[in-house]
Chain A
Amino acid sequence: MNDFAAKTHRRDAGRAENFKNEMYARRSMMRWSDSLWHLSLRTLRRCGEIPFLQWTHESKDFMKEVSVTTPSSPALAATLRALRGETDVHVVAPALDNLWFTRMLALALGVDPIIGALGALAGEVPNVLPPPCATPPSSPPPSRP
């Protein structure tokens, strides 16, 4: 039993050391990169353009990969509509697939509160849920100055 306890202790100590080393390694990486390590690969894939993660989006056709043909167009178009006051959830839905677009919708002023709340939820930042909405989603979008 004592041997087992000692073995367990050594194993835990080893794991703790590994964890500490890993944390330091990650922290030093953050000096030149973004702090994305805590996100899951599923989430990272939603982040779109991140140079060191481009292997996750590798295309068979190199020529296609390097060309910039606005791959996020439907999401971008939906985001722009939301920024201009769009209130139809299903029109904005394509924007909810991109983590960064959703976080922007969650925080941008001028976005319909319900759309903003959906952005906060899809963007995994529920703590910024906007205040109670003043207008129902069926009302016309406010005109921009």
Chain B
Amino acid sequence: MRDSPILSAAIASLIGTDAGKRVLPTWAAVAPAGWGASLAAALIDAVRTDRCPPWSAAALIGPTSDTAALLTMFEGIARAVRRWSLTTPNDPTAWMDALAPAERDRLLSTLRTHADAATRCLPWLPRPLAADIAEAISNMWEIRNALDAYTAASPVARALHADILAALIQRAGWDHLADLTRLAAASRMDAAWTAVAHLLRDAPNDAVRVVAAAPWDALHADVQATILSATDNDSTSICAAIAFARGVRGDAPPITQATVRAFFAAVTPTVWDTLTEGTQRAWRDALSILDAHLAVRSLGPDPMFLAGATLDDDLIAAVHRHVRDAHAMRLTLFPIAVRYLPIADVPAIVAALPSPPDPVAFVQIVGRHRDMPLALRDWITAHPTPQALAGAITALRAASQSAASAARSAALAAAFAGWSSEEATAFLAALPDNTRAMLHPNADALASALAHPNQQDVFRQALAALAALPPSAALPAFHALDALAAASNLVQRRQAGEELARALRNHGNGFLALVDALADVPRTAILPQPRSAPRAVAVRAIAAADPLAAYRLAHALRKGKSDAVLNALMDAPFDTLTRIWRLLPETLQHAVLGDLDALLRDVAAPGRVDDLAQALQDWGADAPLPLLALRMLIGDSEERRAWGISALARRPDVAAALLPLMHADARMLLEHDVRIAIAGADLPPSRPSTPARRRRR
């Protein structure tokens, strides 16, 4: 695939774009040597526009004086040198011959003064310089960098630096055991294995680093024997756990974070299968997400391990040991990728996927459930459609509370759209108790946390009415109420309030019934009472029609900020706009509209400012709508401009009257809407003005 000319052309077409910025760094690490030589100009331009890291461009183009000139940071130099050299395994320092002497010396002298970077490319530096740098290494990180570099280096590079490498191995300590093991496994150097065995004799509990770094079968026989013979000297039981995992010892060691890691790194399928279900569960439940790849490496890609794994190179390598077929490999890893999607996007994406071959495993892995209850298995088997799976996965993700509560509520609303109450009830019944409680909290618990002391029964009745609503409203509403009950500060309470208002947007009476029965603190967070009684009555009336608009308006009135009012107006149903406008204090109305003269100057055709002002005045009681529409039209936000156009499009008579008086730019903007275009069809065509004119306030 890496040699595919089609992929090559696709990547080349992305150079200089934002997408290219994402693709090129990884491509630089795997691309064929000299891939970018013919694209050098484009790549260098991309570096100048910050669309490609300098080292990536240098690595892709290959070693030249032009590419070396791009490298000013020591870390970039190390990366580029490493990549250049890996493409010439038989001549590790060939990159130096391709550079002009001045550039080559500049790179080398920069590396000489930055040991951390230099150790990352040590095998590919000229021997005298590498020896100086290796001798000056002063900390464990630099030894680690160097061991890692020699692990990646070719046998030729290692042979050329044999004495430097031998000295490094001698200096390695217990905290380099994993790096040493990887080096030994990659290079088959006896000296490296001897060092590993030697270090293990002094610190047998560090055997966990060794078995985690390489599979048991890849370890040298001496190292294996050292570990297995240290079971009685190791107070941490790590060697005992490894011996147990290999079937050498029959008595199980205590389960600790370290023994679990060691056990899963070394366990054989035969030993695992002989354990009772309870013992397997005890080991598995103690497995950290960071170590799940070890279980996959030892025992294969079982969904119960994949459910607790994260998608990284370790896991990919672990799966690759058991699954060679590329198609099966992608099928195995795909659910983990789905698990990390933003929850708000899960319903749309999962519903768009083809049905997975094993829906139960798919939900198990995506939902991160190491155990799948029988009832949930049965429900999934009976409902294997992508839409049903989207609902199940969204619900499990929402219950795990791994995303912001607003996103969870929105996702629940989207995932359960079109579900009947009976379908949702059957699904909820199949969930484990704790998961179900997160999605449909207990009414008594909610009442005691949220209801006014005198309104507990009323609140319970409102909850019962809520439960009867369609699941796309009821589930996010319950979720919001749960978040409201758990909120510990005003910000969280307001977020939960907005979620509740959004969830019940089409169920205003249910919203009001709940709000009326709330205690003072949560009620104020959801629907703060305006100070004037007529406004309070009006806000309630709006809440009955649209709780979200009422929520926004109530908070905007409380804040008295024009921006918040504009947001509230944008959310309000069009037929309530005039009513909402009259609710606003005069000062706030003026603040929302801003400088009227400037507004008119911005949108009016040359010489028609007075006519436009007169036309707006002629609309009398309806004036707020066109004025607001024009105000939105000159806003900086795309969303507001769209609202302005849409508002005018709802009144074609107003639009037809205003269009001839408006500036050509504004007319062109408005005429994108077909309703306005038809309303103004008899007018002469608009001509764009000079670019110098701005439609900004």
Contacts of B353 in A (CB 8 A): 83, 108, 110
Q: Which residue of A lies closest to B174 (CB)?
A: A16
Q: Which residue of B lies closest to A31 (CB)?
A: B288
Interface centre among B288, B317, B326, B337 (most CB of A within 10 A): B337
Tell me whether A104 and B341 are in contact (CB under 8 A): yes
Bound state CA distance, A106 and B494, in angstroms? 39
- Counting residue pairs across A and B whose Cβ atoms lie within 8 Å, the total is 195
A117-145: CB near B (< 8 Å → 1, else 0) gives 11011101111111111001100000011
Contacts of B409 in A (CB 8 A): 68
Bound state CA distance, A101 and B344, in angstroms? 13
Interface size class of A (residues with CB under 8 A): 35 or more
Q: Tell me the minimal C-beta distance from A65 to chain B in angstroms.
A: 9
Q: B597 near A: Cβ within 8 Å?
A: no
In chain B between 7 and 49, which residues have their CB closer than 8 angstroms to a CB of chain A?
7, 10-11, 13-14, 17-19, 22-23, 26-27, 29-30
Interface centre among A34, A68, A108, A122 (most CB of B within 10 A): A68
User: Given A49-B343, A132-B4, A133-B1: A104 and B23 within 8 A (CB)?
Assistant: no
In chain A between 21 and 43, which residues have their CB closer than 8 angstroms to a CB of chain B?
27, 30-31, 34-35, 38
In chain A between 62 and 117, which residues have their CB closer than 8 angstroms to a CB of chain B?
62-64, 66-70, 72, 76, 79-80, 83-84, 89-90, 93-94, 96-97, 100-104, 106-110, 113-114, 117
Q: Tell me the minimal C-beta distance from A66 to chain B in angstroms.
A: 5
| Count of residues in B whose CB is under 8 Å from the partner chain | 73
Tell me whether A129 and B2 are in contact (CB under 8 A): yes
Q: B531 near A: Cβ within 8 Å?
A: no
In chain B between 213 and 227, which residues have their CB closer than 8 angstroms to a CB of chain A?
none
Bound state CA distance, A35 and B308, in angstroms? 10
Q: Which residue of A lies closest to B571 (CB)?
A: A67
Contacts of A16 in B (CB 8 A): 140, 173, 175
Q: B563 near A: Cβ within 8 Å?
A: yes
Tell me whether B349 and A104 are in contact (CB under 8 A): yes
User: Given A15-B139, A114-B6: A100 and B340 within 8 A (CB)?
Assistant: yes
Main secondary structure of the interface of A (DSSP, over half): helix
Bound state CA distance, A48 and B403, in angstroms? 10
Tell me whether B1 and A66 are in contact (CB under 8 A): no
User: Given A31-B288, A47-B340, A128-B330: A54 and B404 within 8 A (CB)?
Assistant: yes
Q: B588 near A: Cβ within 8 Å?
A: no
Tell me whether A96 and B313 are in contact (CB under 8 A): no
Tell me whether A63 and B326 are in contact (CB under 8 A): no
In chain B between 269 and 296, which residues have their CB closer than 8 angstroms to a CB of chain A?
288-290
User: Given A34-B402, A68-B406, A125-B316: A132 and B330 within 8 A (CB)?
Assistant: no
Q: A3 near B: Cβ within 8 Å?
A: no
Contacts of A93 in B (CB 8 A): 14, 17-19
B405-422: CB near A (< 8 Å → 1, else 0) gives 011011000000000000
Contacts of B404 in A (CB 8 A): 49, 51, 54
In chain B between 318 and 354, which residues have their CB closer than 8 angstroms to a CB of chain A?
320, 326-327, 329-331, 333-334, 337-338, 340-345, 348-349, 352-354
Q: B482 near A: Cβ within 8 Å?
A: no
Tell me whether B333 and A83 are in contact (CB under 8 A): no
Partner of A72, one of B2, B345, B406: B345
Tell me whether B326 and A35 are in contact (CB under 8 A): no
Interface centre among A70, A121, A132 (most CB of B within 10 A): A121
User: Given A79-B349, A100-B340: A109 and B23 within 8 A (CB)?
Assistant: no
Partner of A109, one of B2, B29, B330, B552: B330
Bound state CA distance, A129 and B2, in angstroms? 8
Contacts of B19 in A (CB 8 A): 89-90, 93-94, 96-97, 118, 122
Q: B129 near A: Cβ within 8 Å?
A: no
Tell me whether B26 and A131 are in contact (CB under 8 A): no
Bound state CA distance, A27 and B260, in angstroms? 13
Q: B555 near A: Cβ within 8 Å?
A: yes
Bound state CA distance, A12 and B72, in angstroms? 30
Q: Tell me the minimal C-beta distance from B559 to chain A in angstroms.
A: 9
Tell me whether B316 and A128 are in contact (CB under 8 A): yes
Contacts of B337 in A (CB 8 A): 100, 103-104, 106-108
Q: B138 near A: Cβ within 8 Å?
A: yes
Tell me whether A89 and B403 are in contact (CB under 8 A): no
Tell me whether B407 and A68 are in contact (CB under 8 A): yes
Tell me whether A109 and B567 are in contact (CB under 8 A): no
B608-635: CB near A (< 8 Å → 1, else 0) gives 0000000000000000000000000000
Q: B199 near A: Cβ within 8 Å?
A: no
In chain B between 88 and 140, which residues have their CB closer than 8 angstroms to a CB of chain A?
138-140
Tell me whether B330 and A130 are in contact (CB under 8 A): yes
Contacts of B13 in A (CB 8 A): 89-90
Name 9 interchain pairs, CB-CB below 8 A, sorted by A.
A12-B139, A30-B290, A34-B310, A49-B404, A54-B404, A80-B349, A109-B334, A122-B23, A127-B313
9 A-B pairs with least C-beta separation:
A93-B19, A122-B22, A68-B410, A107-B334, A49-B342, A96-B19, A35-B310, A103-B337, A121-B26
Given contacts A76-B345, A80-B349, A102-B22, 18 further A-B contacts (CB under 8 A): A12-B140, A27-B288, A34-B310, A34-B402, A49-B344, A67-B498, A80-B348, A80-B352, A83-B352, A90-B19, A100-B341, A103-B340, A108-B330, A114-B10, A117-B10, A122-B23, A127-B316, A129-B1
A residues near B (Cβ < 8 Å) are 8, 11-12, 15-16, 19-20, 27, 30-31, 34-35, 38, 46-51, 54, 61-64, 66-70, 72, 76, 79-80, 83-84, 89-90, 93-94, 96-97, 100-104, 106-110, 113-114, 117-118, 120-122, 124-133, 136-137, 144-145
